[in-house]
Amino acid sequence: METIVFDIGETLVRDDRYWASWANWLGVPPHTLSALVGAAVMQGRDSADALRILRPDMDVAEAYLARVAAGRGEHLDESDLYPDVRPALAELRALGVRVVVAGNRTVRAGELLRALDLPADLVVTSDEWAVSKPDPEFFARVLEVSGAEPRSTLYVGDHPANDLFPAKSSGLRAAHLRRGPYGHWWADHPDVVETADFRINALTELPGLLSGRKSGPGTESGAGSGAGRAAESGTGSVAGAGTPGTPGTAGTAADAPARRRTLRSVR
């Protein structure tokens, strides 16, 4: 793998502050908004629908600009990064991998991320490119900045519909990260298991997967020991979805058909 490209929200950056700031702006308890975000995730909907449930007539883009004008715009600092971000990105660069950060965020978020001086070769956001995931044009731009062939470029993200499926459709390899609401809820969904070249629980697993070694307890390359071989062969298919109904998985076996229909509806 020559280049690894990372999503931003709930891959590198925790979204706690993002949603808390919206709750504060709308005058609702953070728990209320968090619960509505969770409901949207379970239904395979856009998480921003949680805002529209609270304010059906609100234009989210216009409300964001109103927040900025009121001095209550975005903020992002070191405390918003997941703790594995710097060590994982630094180790990948030490291995000679080109590291790119590219995800759905505002121009301001891009400025704030670059100010953190991450160990990355490039940090760019969808608003800076004027195209957002899951639009295929976004992934065409990813390939432009990758500097590598599609099969030598790995996209890492938590969101099946925004990250995993469109990256694979664009010819890239893809790693699904069990992190954040989408990442946890959909991690063991059959379509995710079938599509992902790798399924990981932490970013620090990536250097080990690339070098063929295990990176620590609980490491999942896809769903088991054959996933690395599947990725190398380009099949994009890995065996074993975990045990439905166990803690941290996508639910019970009885839930699977409905969940599959829901996820396919947003592909």
Structure tokens at 250: 């996508």
- pLDDT of 266 reads 47
Which residue has 């060590």 as its token pair?
87
pLDDT in the model for residue 213: 55
Residues 186 and 250: beta-carbon distance below 8 Å: yes
pLDDT of residue 137: 98
- Residue 59: how many CA atoms within 13 Å on its side-chain side? 4
Q: What secondary structure, in 3-state letters, does 63-113 show? A: HHHHHHHCCCCCCCCHHHECCCHHHHHHHHHHCCCEEEEEECCCHHHHHHH
Distance from C-alpha of 222 to C-alpha of 176, rounded to nearest angstrom = 8
- What is the chain's pLDDT, residue by residue, as a tens digit (267 residues)? 999 999 999 999 999 999 999 999 999 999 999 999 999 999 989 999 999 999 999 999 999 999 999 999 899 999 999 999 999 999 999 999 999 999 999 999 999 999 999 999 999 999 999 999 999 999 999 999 999 999 999 999 999 999 999 999 999 999 999 999 999 999 999 999 999 999 999 999 999 988 775 444 334 444 433 333 333 333 332 222 222 222 233 333 344 444 444 554 444
Write b or e for each residue in 27-57: b if 16 or more Cβ atoms lie within 10 A of its Cβ, otherwise e. Answer: eeeeeebbebbeebbeebbebebbbbebeee
> Which two three-digit tokens encode residue 91?
């180790």
Residue-level pLDDT at 262: 53
The pLDDT value given to residue 144? 97
